[in-house]
Amino acid sequence: MFIIQNYTLAVIFTFVTMLCWGSWANTQKLTSKDWRFEAFYWDYVFGILLMSIIFAFTFGSIGEGGRSFLADIKQADNQSIRSAIFGGIVFNAANILLVAAITIAGMSVAFPVGIGLALVIGVVVNYIDNPVGDKSMLFGGVALIVLAILLNANAYRKMQSNQGNVSTKGLVLSVIAGILMGYFYKYVAASMFSDFNVPEAGKLSPYTAVFFFAIGVLLSNFPFNTLLMKRPFVGPPINYTDYFGGSFKNHLMGILGGMIWCKGMSFNIIASGKAGPAISYGLGQGATIVAAIWGIYIWKEFKNAPKGTSLILNMMLLCYIIGLGMIIAAR
């Protein structure tokens, strides 16, 4: 399988993750306005599974290092498989709420609050499990990201107050999504052998781990998304006939969104072997900056915000950038 051998390349891979995780939500924005996110999300999940299979039979099956995908599945123990699948279940619960928050509050709110919180929790949890990197730099960067989250939430509340709308549903969903999102990665990391060059019996390679993670996402989507279709956060209930009535473009956007996200996940997991799970996950969740830029400057989600909001948003982005720089320097 393909293995990263130096830290610089690992950082490059996490930046690809950042771009993928921060940009996939544009595919939802590009679907028709009457295409509900619950229907979009089915195709998104199928896209995640498809890309995990592509990576498994390409990067996961070439080279002499590690262990190839099919051989890895044959020797995998149940505990490792369950851990990767459970990571997919936790992620899916978080991500459905995140997509709902994007629908309600926009990318420039859901990502900085939800994914920013996930970054903070994920870095702490993964550092406890695998303490790699300078503690002061790592948690100094995390502190700046917490400040960025608070600035973004304040900007959102100012905009809502200006519009006479004080609903906090989007913020609440973002916070719950962020808390759950902060924990999924540790279960995937726990399923893998720590040194990708030296396979451990029963443990999974990063490519096999992502594949079983995707299986967990798919299996959990039947109860999770079916429930949301019947009891949605916004709008009337929908059923499966609404999904099958979607246009080719709508289905394509959903699958593409899932493939983009899974490419980021695969690159991040591959990079974790050299960078360590805490740093790899933390840098990948810098997707917040990418998504915020899309939401603020491309989709104009704060165009009706009161005077002074742009300064708060710029401060938020600056805190994120400096915080991520400190996380990089921690190694």
DSSP run (H or E) holding 121 = helix 116-129
DSSP run (H or E) holding 153 = helix 135-162
CB burial string 229-253: b at 16+ within 10 A, e below: beebbeeeebeeeebeebeeebbbb
- Taking Cα atoms as reference points, which of 10, 6, 14 lies closest to residue 264? 14
Determine the Cα–Cα distance for residues 245 and 315; give it in Å rounded to an integer: 44
Tallying the residues shown for the chain, one arrives at: 331
**Structure tokens given for 160:** 């809502």
Return per-residue pLDDT of the chain as tens, 331 residues: 999 989 999 999 999 999 999 999 999 989 988 899 999 999 999 999 999 999 999 999 998 888 999 999 999 999 999 999 999 999 999 999 998 988 888 888 888 888 889 888 988 888 888 888 899 999 999 999 889 888 888 888 788 777 656 468 888 999 999 999 999 999 999 999 988 989 999 999 999 999 999 999 999 999 999 999 999 998 899 999 999 999 999 999 999 999 999 999 999 999 998 988 888 888 888 888 888 889 888 888 788 788 888 899 999 999 989 998 898 888 7
Q: Residue 273: which residues within 8 A CB-CB, separation 6 or more?
A: 3, 4, 10, 194, 195, 196, 206
Report the SS3 class of residue 192: strand
**Residues 310 and 158: beta-carbon distance below 8 Å:** no
Give the global pTM: 0.89
